[in-house]
Amino acid sequence: MEHTKHIWRAAILLVTVLVVLVVGRHFVIPKSFGEMGYYRYDALFEYMGKEMRHGSPNACADCHDEIAAAKASGKHAPVKCEVCHDTLATHVKDGEKYADMRINRSYELCAYCHQKLVGRPALVAQVDLLEHLELSPGQPIPAEACVQCHDAGMIHHPE
């Protein structure tokens, strides 16, 4: 009998761990988990209650119809305004402008899609930044390099 002690100890430990798991589960699993599937159902209502940040694809056209029309007929048609600027909610509240919209003139914005990269598919026009800006290697790229030549009219309507 003496030699079965360690087995009993292991069994008691196992049972204790199981009891802690089964009981503890009720305390740590969120209330609505599993109600409608393998997720926390309440999370849906929390997201539905959040303020909308983005507008619909045509939200900017309501007030900027000329720029929107120019963009729609140029090569930047697939790039949504909010990609280059900011979300609608930073600019419009209750259908009216209440704060300035960000204008991002950094070369990084354009480079994000147009910098020549070895692995980048040729679907989007690519430029070697230094070559295109006629800079020699090591020369810093001016912060607003691209908008010096590509002005708003061109950026909103590249042909």
Longest dimension (CA), the chain: 92
Q: What is the token pair recorded at 114? A: 């147009």
Which of 109, 130, 135, 157 is the binder for ligand HEC (CB under 6 A)? 109
For position 112 contacting ligand HEC by CB under 6 A, the verdict is: yes
33 close to 41: Cβ distance less than 8 angstroms: yes
User: At closest approach, how far in Å is the CB of 157 from ligand HEC?
Assistant: 10
Q: What is the token pair recorded at 10? A: 């292991």
Scan for tokens 């089964």, then name that residue: 22
CA distance 74 to 146: 18
For position 135 contacting ligand HEC by CB under 6 A, the verdict is: no
Which of 49, 78, 137, 138 is the binder for ligand HEC (CB under 6 A)? 78
The total number of residues shown for the chain amounts to 159
Give residues in contact with ligand HEC (CB under 6 A).
55, 59-60, 62-64, 67-68, 71, 75-76, 78-79, 81-85, 88, 91-92, 95-97, 100-101, 103, 105, 107, 109-114, 124-125, 127, 129, 132-133, 145-152, 155-156, 158
